[in-house]
Amino acid sequence: MKATTRDVNGIAIIKVDGKITIGAGDQQLRDVIANANSKNILLDLSGVTTIDSSGIGELVGSYTTATNKGGKLKLLHLPAKLNELLHVTQLITVFEVYENEQEALDSF
Residues in contact with other proteins by the rule CB under 8 A: 21-24, 52-54, 56-58, 60-61, 63-64, 80-81, 84-85, 87-91, 94
Q: Which residues pair with 5 in a beta bridge?
A: 14
Handedness of CA 66, 75, 101, 108 (dihedral sign): negative
Is 68 or 102 the residue whose CB approaches other proteins more closely? 68
| Minimum CB–partner distance for residue 68 and other proteins (Å) | 11
| Minimum CB–partner distance for residue 106 and other proteins (Å) | 26
- Give me the phi and psi of 31, to 5 degrees please: -65, -40
Answer yes or no: are the C-beta atoms of 90 and 54 closer than 8 Å: no
Is 57 or 71 the residue whose CB approaches other proteins more closely? 57
